[in-house]
Chains A and B, each alone.
Chain A
């Protein structure tokens, strides 16, 4: 029974990855088309914030209402987004099946963590599209999801095994789920920050190619979006740290012991703390803070891949 369900789950994973690949290709074609169709001068992406000086309280940055980005309802992007939804539903079904097969949460080893993690990254992205039109990020998000899901399934797949005693805890549900959610938000934030850096270069005339950038919000609007997303990621990451400490106290006899994974969780937290401070400091706003957000997400990926696979530590027993 377990094996059958796990096998069906795997079929779902492959199907989802195939659909994602199609969505990724369409998102990429959409960007290519936008580059052809977009005006060279980039009139669509005017900076949307300005500053005002209010006398009695010193200098205050005033955000003007953001100018609505030019909506490009390319057919390719619409189909790509629809495909992403289809792929995601299959993906979520496969993840749930895996959990049913294992009779526990589907995030107890590297493969399962990648499975659930990519589902949440894509999920956060899809739902974020209700908030802002983020179809220009589809290439980044779906590309990342296909890459991680494919690598994990091919290299790290393991059959369902029961949980070792150390993982038999309600904190496995909470701590890891919050960590994955945080990762999802950081992923979208990093995508926005990368786009912001490109956009900024284009606005300053330093970027010849990538004319699709003219069809998406300006760098300052992108920076504000990235901030909103990263701040949610930061709060989730703070919870990851605290829940992890509580669990570590229960399971290992100390709430903090500088285990390799703890070190990296701390490093990531500090980098994003730096990012939030940078956002409020002249000279660090804009590109520099965007670079910090990207470094932060790179550290998240490093923490999940290299630290799990190559570093020795207490978290290693989750198995591959």
Chain B
């Protein structure tokens, strides 16, 4: 839109040429810039630039939606990464140039909504314009004779037009009518609602937060910063007050799969997490969490994003004292849930101990001898562990990632050719007499995404308002109509009537509407005369 004139308005060549003014003062120059920015032409260019600027965001992995892709890109091509990162391409949608385009667009938009709203409010109060002297040049011009007097014809014209929703005004022996003010109203609502969407998105982003937590069966999660695995809050998010107090617990998880003969993989059919939730002052209450069915609690939403197995293992020293005990989440590597995990035992043994584990829910040996999982179901559960001794890197931070084992400073005790192999309930000796490890049982876990956006309801409200405005502004025609008594009929008795319309904006049905109006008016006059005749 961007222009103080209605959207229906088509700029003429004369208007499009900027007035020649060789010397502009600062105020004049500012006004010139403002007019340039709020012109329709600039708006189109900015829209096209916005579309163009968004494209790189789909070509290059984005930090927000695909952080691993960004790291991978960096590893594959560090030099190109430097260049693209300098341009901000890995966070396209928060880059200065992308922001500049949409901010300019919205300034241009506001600079146009305000004067247009004023203009429209005035138009709503003004009466339909004077009937043109000659209707012949206008759309759907129709003439007809009617056996009635001028006064009746004009008054009937007023009635018919009013009943069709027109605002009417009498000028002499003619009625001037206009309708479709809603078209411009809708247009303004649409554009204002877009500003609302942008504002709500901004506010939601600033005060909202999103965090992830891998939750193992039975372990409670409390909604405090320390209980998240990863967390990102908005600029104005306050972790002391922004986190609603609630707790979650995973009680059970059921997954259902179907075998696909063509791919040999099991496709998931259904994931159901049985949870318990607790809010201040209450006890644990059961709740079900499914994909597409987030859990609503404390003004936040909890989403089910992943699931897997966490073997519960106990490591003991040679004397039998427990030095490690816990459920270790393993990350699924394929659809059949062959999973990878790392067990780190920093204390209690003669050396730091690291184990890299492969978990197979339904193990079978490939012809090559390597193991794989036939299905995601627990049929032939197997855990294999390769064992390393040495520095886990916990002091210098290189070993901080719980899913990764850095073995550069470690000595291999049991390699891939001879790993430790355990079934649930098994206890085996660690190499070199370091102690024992027991695979107690299996726990389940879910990957949770917890999300809070105080303004997302408003985003939806504004988006729906925008749609309502869009539909109104595109499909309600704004038109003017005239019915005029042009003089006595040629036959001598009765009057000659003229009908015509004028489109304001796209209105392909106007000619038909004028014809309908002429017919309706003619019929109304005929009814009236016959009625008068009966009465008389």
Is B292 an interface position by the 8 A CB rule? Answer: yes
Q: Known A164-B268, A165-B269, A251-B291; judge A258-B64 contact (CB<8 A).
A: yes
How far does the alpha carbon of A285 sit from the alpha carbon of B16 in the complex, in Å?
13
In the assembled complex, A228 has its CB within 8 A of some CB on chain B: yes
Question: 1/0 per position for A200-238, CB-CB distance to B under 8 A?
Answer: 000000000000000000000000100110010011001
- Rounded to whole angstroms, the CA-CA distance of A227 and B505 in the bound complex is 12
Of listed B50, B51, B64, B267, residue having the most chain A CB within 10 A: B51
A235 contacts B292, CB within 8 Å?
A: no
Residue of chain A at shortest CB distance from B257: A162
Distance, CA A284 to CA B47, complexed state (A) = 14
* Interface stretch of the complex, out of A80-88, A148-156, A242-250: A242-250
Bound CA–CA A257/B470 (angstroms) = 24
Contacts A271-B48, A281-B11; A258 near B303 (Cβ below 8 A):
no
A65 to B15, CA, bound (A): 27
Is B464 among interface residues, defined by CB-CB distance under 8 A? yes
> B291 contacts which of A165, A264, A283 (Cβ < 8 Å)?
A165
What are the residues of chain B within 8 A of A33 when measuring CB–CB?
none
Binds A, one of B363-371, B389-397, B424-432, B455-463: B455-463
Looking at the complex, which one of B44, B61, B65, B463 makes contact with A277 (CB distance below 8 Å)? B44
Q: Interface residue count for A (Cβ, 8 Å)?
A: 68
User: Which residue on B lies nearest to A241, using beta carbons?
Assistant: B463
Please indicate which of the listed interface residues B62, B130, B140 has the most CB atoms of chain A within 10 Å of its own CB.
B62
Shortest C-beta distance, B80 to chain A (Å), equals 17
Per-residue A-contact encoding for B301-319, CB less than 8 Å = 1, 0 else: 1010100000000000000
- Chain A's closest residue to B1 (CB) is A277
Taking the complex as formed, is B10 at the interface, i.e. its CB lies under 8 A from any CB of chain A?
Answer: yes
Cross-chain contact of B467 among A54, A238, A278 (Cβ < 8 A): A238
Stretch from B223-231, B339-347, B507-515 contacting the other chain: B507-515
Q: Is the CB of A271 within 8 A of B270?
A: no
- Which residues 32-50 of B sit at the A interface, judged by CB distance below 8 A? 40-41, 43-44, 47-48, 50
Q: Which residues of chain A are within 8 angstroms of B301 by Cβ–Cβ distance?
A: 249, 253
Query: How far is it, in angstroms, between the C-alpha of A254 and the C-alpha of B453 when the chains are bound?
Result: 9
A249-278 contacts to B (CB < 8 Å): 249-260, 263-264, 266-267, 270-271, 273-274, 277-278
For residue A245, which residues in chain B have a CB less than 8 angstroms away from its CB? 459-460, 463
A276 to chain B, nearest CB (A): 8
One of B43, B44, B139, B201 near A63 (C-beta < 8 A)? B139
| Cα-based distance from A124 to B248 in the complex (angstroms) | 50
A158 → chain B closest CB, angstroms: 8
Name the distance in Å between B209's Cβ and chain A's nearest Cβ: 12
Q: Does B264 belong to the interface (CB within 8 Å)?
A: no
**Cα-based distance from A57 to B44 in the complex (angstroms):** 25
- A273 to B, closest residue via Cβ: B47
0/1 string, B208-223, CB within 8 A of A gives 1 = 0010000000000000
User: In the complex, which residues of chain A have a beta carbon less than 8 angstroms from the beta carbon of B114?
Assistant: none
Q: How far is the CB of A245 from chain B (nearest CB, A)?
A: 7
Contact between A267 and B54, CB atoms less than 8 A apart:
yes
Report if A318 contacts B (CB, 8 A).
Answer: no
Q: Which B residues are CB-close (under 8 A) to A159?
A: 262
A251, B303: Cα distance in complex, Å: 8
Q: Name the CB-closest residue of B to A163.
A: B269
A168 within 8 A of B: yes
Across the two chains, which residue of chain A brings its CB closest to B41?
A281
Contact A231 B55 (CB under 8 A): no
Q: Which of B258-309 contact A (CB under 8 A)?
A: 258, 260, 262, 267-271, 290-294, 301, 303, 305
Report the bound CA distance from A188 to B293 in whole Å.
Answer: 37
B69, A312: Cβ atoms closer than 8 Å: yes
Contact, CB under 8 Å: A65 / B139: yes
B139 touches A60 (CB 8 A): no
Whether a CB of chain A sits under 8 angstroms from the CB of B93 is: yes
B474 at the interface (CB under 8 A from A): yes
Interface centre among A56, A231, A260, A282 (most CB of B within 10 A): A282
Tell yes or no: B132 within 8 A of A by CB: yes
Given the interface pairs A166-B292, A281-B40, the reply to whether A260 lies near B58 with Cβ below 8 Å is yes
Neighbouring B residues of A267 by C-beta, 8 Å: 51, 54-55
Indicate if A58 sits at the interface (CB-CB under 8 A). yes
Expressed in whole angstroms, the Cα–Cα distance for A244 and B532 within the complex equals: 61
Cα separation A279 to B290 with both chains bound (whole Å): 46
Partner of B57, one of A228, A239, A263: A263
**Are A258 and B65 in touch, CB under 8 angstroms?**
yes
A73 adjacent to chain B (CB < 8 Å): no
When the two chains form their complex, are residues A162 and B10 in contact, meaning their CB atoms are under 8 A apart? no
Which A residues are CB-close (under 8 A) to B57? 258, 263
A277 to B43, CA, bound (A): 8
Residue of A nearest to B6 (CB): A280
Taken together as a complex, chains A and B put the C-alpha atoms of A59 and B508 apart, in Å, by 18
Interface residues of A in 32-67 (CB under 8 A from B): 52, 54, 56-65
- Chain B residues proximal to chain A, CB less than 8 Å: 1-2, 7-13, 15-16, 40-41, 43-44, 47-48, 50-51, 54-55, 57-59, 61-62, 64-66, 69, 92-93, 129-130, 132, 137-140, 201, 210, 258, 260, 262, 267-271, 290-294, 301, 303, 305, 449, 451, 453, 456, 459-460, 463-464, 466-467, 470-471, 474, 502-508, 510-511
A-B contact pairs, 7 of them (CB 8 A): A54-B132, A56-B130, A59-B12, A63-B139, A254-B210, A266-B54, A267-B51
Q: Which 5 A-B pairs have the closest CB atoms?
A: A165-B291, A253-B303, A274-B47, A263-B58, A270-B51
A residues whose Cβ falls under 8 Å from a Cβ of B:
52, 54, 56-65, 158-159, 161-166, 168-169, 224, 227-228, 231, 234-235, 238-239, 242, 245-246, 249-260, 263-264, 266-267, 270-271, 273-274, 277-285, 292, 307, 311-314
Extra contacts besides A280-B7, A281-B40 (15): CB < 8 Å: A60-B503, A62-B137, A163-B269, A235-B470, A255-B456, A267-B55, A270-B48, A271-B47, A278-B44, A281-B11, A282-B10, A311-B58, A312-B61, A312-B66, A314-B65
